[in-house]
Amino acid sequence: MPKPPSRRNKATSAASTDSTSAANSVNEDISQQEDPGSATITISAVEVPELTEEEQRDRLHLERRVERAFFEAGKALAELRDRRLYRSSHRTFEDYCRDRFAHSRQKSNYLIAAADVYENLTTICCQNLPSEDLTTNRSQILPTSEGQVRPITKLEPQEQWEVWQQAVELAGGKVPTGRIVKDVVQRIMERTQVPNTYQLGEVCQILVKDNPELRGKAGCWGIVSAVNEFSCTVRMWDGEYTIGLQHLKSYEYLPAECEQMQVICDRINRVYFDSLEETVKTLLQSLGKLNRPYLTAVEEKLLSLIEREYGLIDQSPQTHRQ
């Protein structure tokens, strides 16, 4: 005996019929008009409630947190580094940042330097404003990401502020991109271009001057291997680095003394590598900070011992004095 049709099917069928009828009714109404293109479709407006005072305060507070995120990260990284809070689990700060935050050493240094720039911008020219006004939502335009200030991290604080102000103006009163900031720095350098007077083979002292990329190199010496427009490539005890002119100071050694330092540099470079024992690395690093163009008798013996230990034959002339 066949089953009677279900009520669900009837309801669906009825709904479908009603929908079709409604659609046909609309089409008929439109077709009956002289100009179908002028048909009026009524849309109900949805009212969006205004933010309450509490919600406005919450929004502003959260926006400030977003704007200051890179600053907070940089300050936290600096404290972790300076207090060596990583020492219980990692040998170096670089290893710690890579494992914990997936940061390279360079990325961590960029964040730390950017936090310093942010602090400089708020300190130098915003001293008369309360801290809650130091946001992009009030009277001051401040950076919101590390990349925006990367081009000015190596400048002096007052120079940072002047470049930032010009970049804000070029951006139409908004937060400038890193590209705009970099363009402003380039224009200033072109206007105040100082000729590079360093020569190949010249021995220079490294001046860090708050440059995070030169951390650990303060007082080290390097030998100029390439002369660029605004920098020099120098060879040091652990490799070559391109360093701005403001971070170099000539020792003004005589040509013969420069040649002698070149010999010392070559010898250290031949034996230095990252997997050396820490005591050996420390000794070689100390030789990389000599403020004289020769080795003492003891230093010569120690360097020769390292060369023999690692199978290197020293064919260089004597580089020490009694």
* Residue 14 belongs to a domain: no
Residue 122 lies in a domain: yes
At 146, is the secondary structure helix, strand, or coil? helix
State residue 38's pLDDT score: 62
Quick one: 111 and 230 in the same domain? no
Q: Which amino acid is at 44?
A: S
CA 252, CA 36: separation in Å to the nearest integer?
A: 90
Instruction: Compute the mean pLDDT over every residue in the chain, rounded to the nearest whole number.
Output: 80
Tens of pLDDT, residues 211-220: 777 778 888 9
Q: Are residues 141 and 113 in the same domain?
A: yes
User: What is the pLDDT, as a whole number, of residue 43?
Assistant: 67
Instruction: Quick: pLDDT tens for 154-184.
Output: 788 888 999 999 999 999 999 999 999 989 9
Domain count, the chain: 3
Q: What is the pTM of this model?
A: 0.48
Task: Determine the pLDDT at residue 126.
Answer: 57
105 lies in the same domain as 123: yes
Instruction: Give pLDDT, residue 35.
Output: 59
Please tell me the predicted confidence (pLDDT) of residue 303: 92
Q: Are residues 72 and 148 in the same domain?
A: yes
The answer to whether position 196 is within a domain reads: no
| 106-133 residue pLDDT tens | 888 899 999 999 999 988 765 545 444 4
Mean of pLDDT values over 189-210: 82
Band of the pLDDT at 140, cuts 50, 70, 90? confident
Choose one of 170, 191, 212: the last residue of a domain: 191
Better pLDDT: 10 or 32: 32
* Domain assignment of residue 125, given as a range: 57-191
Q: How far apart are CA 123 and CA 305, in angstroms?
A: 53
Question: Span 243-260, mean pLDDT?
Answer: 89
CA 263 vs CA 129, 244, 260, 268, 309: distances in Å: 57, 24, 5, 9, 19
Place of tokens 């403001």: 246
**Do 109 and 71 sit in the same domain of this protein?**
yes
Shared domain for 287 and 181, answered yes or no, is no
Q: Are both 69 and 91 inside the same structural domain?
A: yes
CATH of the domain at 210: 2.30.30
Report whether pLDDT(298) > 50: yes
Give me the residue label for tokens 């700060």: 93
Inside any domain, residue 177: yes
**Same-domain status, 212 and 281:** no
Q: Of 150 and 64, which is predicted with more confidence?
A: 150
